[in-house]
Amino acid sequence: MALFMPPSSAQREPDPWPQEREGYYQPTPVAYAPVHLHSSAGKQSVAIRRAEQIGSVVAGGGIIWTAYAVAHHSAEITRLVLFPPGPLEVLGIGVLIWLVAKLCRAAASR
């Protein structure tokens, strides 16, 4: 059994979808003006970024120290004795440094 192709007609059927249909229409490109950044904002941004990084590192160290303290002082913690001083304070100081840096970034962007 052979497959037969219909004879090609000289006329083509019109496209059932108009050119304005989404995906077929090519809108004209829009030109945007370039944005100029202030040079003083770059130096301030570096200082704020460093403060954020320092706060993150200090908070990360506090988390690691807290995990270590929980692992090694778990018997005292389960008896509801005071948690060893140090790790939670370091964690809190790191979070505060990070939050103040974020606040400074938000105030500088205004």
pLDDT band at 84 (very low <50, low <70, confident <90, very high): confident
Q: Map out the domains of the chain as residue ranges.
A: 43-108
d(CA 50, CA 108): 15
Q: What is the DSSP letter of 24?
A: T
Residue with tokens 């004795």: 81
pLDDT, tens digit (0-9, with 9 covering 90-100), for 16-56: 666 566 666 666 778 888 877 665 556 678 899 999 999 99
DSSP string, 52-77: HHHHHHHHHHHHHHHHHHHHHSHHHH
pLDDT of residue 38: 63
Closest C-alpha to 49, from 108, 109, 105, 96: 105
pLDDT of residue 31: 83
Q: Identify the residue with better confidence: 56 or 7.
A: 56
pLDDT of residue 48: 92
Long-range CB contacts (within 8 A, 24+) of 81-84: none
